[in-house]
Amino acid sequence: MIRILGIDPGSRRTGFGIVDSVGSKTQYVASGVIRLPTGELPARLKVIFENISELIGEYQPVEVAIEDVFFARDPRAALKLGQARGAAIVAGVTAGLPVAEYSAKTVKQAVVGNGGAKKDQVQQMIMRLLKLPAPPQEDAADALAVAICHAHSMTHQLAIKGVSGYARGRLK
């Protein structure tokens, strides 16, 4: 079993989603949204770092996957998003976990089968894939999607390498 923490970072809300990858199956563990307080940037980044560090402590994932955003909005928005992303990635690496990055297009392709899928299509597909009673909140759904994308990618790599399993960052 590989437990994966997926993160969809944002300067207002950061989604998280945790799944277990067992053979070719992916099982839901937890998901949610870290809502950032208004106010000064350092305090906001601290909330991201601390919440993700707590999630790692509580759920003990062995891998982290994060969406690698690229969009043509203004540099100021990109800077804000980068800061949130930096805080989230640092929480993963300081916990000693490998952090993988996937483009939004790759994530949508892996989950919906269409790199240009809309937000609600991702939510609906996540609900079906993980057998949830309702579609998860948008940011949580994106975080679960990147975790599933990573699960697929890893399962594929393990199959190619012919290894039997995986323990805390090492093939065995």
> What are the residues binding a copy of itself (CB under 8 A)?
40-43, 45-46, 49-50, 69-87, 89-94, 98-99, 101
Q: Which of 20, 63, 67, 138 is catalytic?
A: 67
CA distances to 40, 90, 99 from 129, in Å: 38, 29, 23
Q: 71: which 2 tokens?
A: 């969009």
Q: Which of 58, 101, 120, 139 is catalytic?
A: 139
State yes or no: is 74 an active-site residue: no
Is 139 considered catalytic here?
Answer: yes
- In terms of Cα–Cα distance, which of 106, 131, 135 is closest to 122? 135
Ramachandran area for residue 107 (φ above 0: left; ψ -120 to 50: alpha; else beta): alpha
- 67 catalytic residue (yes or no): yes
CB closer to a copy of itself, 2 vs 66: 66
d(C-alpha 63, C-alpha 160), whole Å: 19
How, if at all, do strands 25-35 and 170-171 pair? unpaired
Among all residues, which ones are annotated catalytic?
A: 8, 67, 139
